[in-house]
Amino acid sequence: MSLTEIFAKESQVAYMAILHAYGFKKLKIPALSPTFFANVAKMCSIDVEFTDIDLDMSSKEADVVSNFYESFEPKNRVVFQSWGEPLGEAEVWVMKYGGCVRILVKEDALAKKIELFLEGGVKRGRLWNYDVISFGIKNRVDSCTGASKEEIEKSNEVTELFEKHFHRSIYTDFLKSGKKTLKEGFVLLLKPSLYCPKEDIYTELKKRGVDVRVRFKPLYKTTLFSGPPLPVSEEFYKAQLILPLKKDILPVVDEVLAKYRHRGCSF
């Protein structure tokens, strides 16, 4: 597979370049995606439809997939992921790492449009001559340093340790991760009985030094993109906590989950 490699400073601008290159009029986006997925589409006057996620986060009916957990092989046109190998059969992969992004594009014509946008729409001529032939945002860089194979393997080792640990838990499930990308956290899914005390669990973990996160709020729950709920996205949002990949936090997490088990929920 021959791929054109392009580097940019920011994910949001790279995404805008891709949408412009495709010329989308309508776009399907998983409801649990970064806010900028919908914001940029709206700024580009693209009609957005939110799709529910599959339990494996595949959302195969969407045009764009936000893959932070690499638990599937996407077949969508555009895939965002942590740094690693291209996944599935997408036409464009955006691999983010630190302060830069790496874009891999299958089609030459599409790559040229993305490059032009990231050059600010400027076509360079001989010596100092140039022409502006399209609109764009200058955001292209010459290179982008990503994670090494060793870093990816190390994150896989810690992830496997977490999976073995939480496999025995009566309070949680977890999202199984693949091995191709750098892991930036462990996705822990609370059992429904712990949905109600989730805020207290989150707050106490923070107080005890665990840098826990929640990603993301369903886009249809926001004022700008309000819409009807999607059942799997709702459940995933209620259940999800993202733990840092640090081995020493496991006893603390166990203690906090056990502390709030009595609160429970009844629906």
- List average pLDDT for each run of 10 residues in the chain, which is 267 residues long: 90 96 95 94 95 83 87 89 88 88 95 96 90 92 86 94 94 90 92 94 97 93 94 94 96 95 65
Closest residue by Cα to residue 233 from 72, 51, 36: 51
- pLDDT for 163: 96
Q: Where are the domains of the chain?
A: 4-141, 149-259
Domain 4-141 coded CATH 3.40.640.10: yes
**Which homologous superfamily is 149-259 in?**
Aspartate Aminotransferase, domain 1 (3.90.1150.10)
Predicted local confidence at residue 92, as pLDDT: 96
Q: Is 149-259 in the same CATH topology as 4-141? A: no
pLDDT at 25: 96
Single out the residue of 70, 15, 74, 81 nearest to residue 48, CA to CA: 15
Whether the Cβ atoms of residue 119 and residue 20 lie closer than 8 Å to each other: no
pLDDT of amino acid 267 = 47
Q: What is the pTM of this model?
A: 0.90
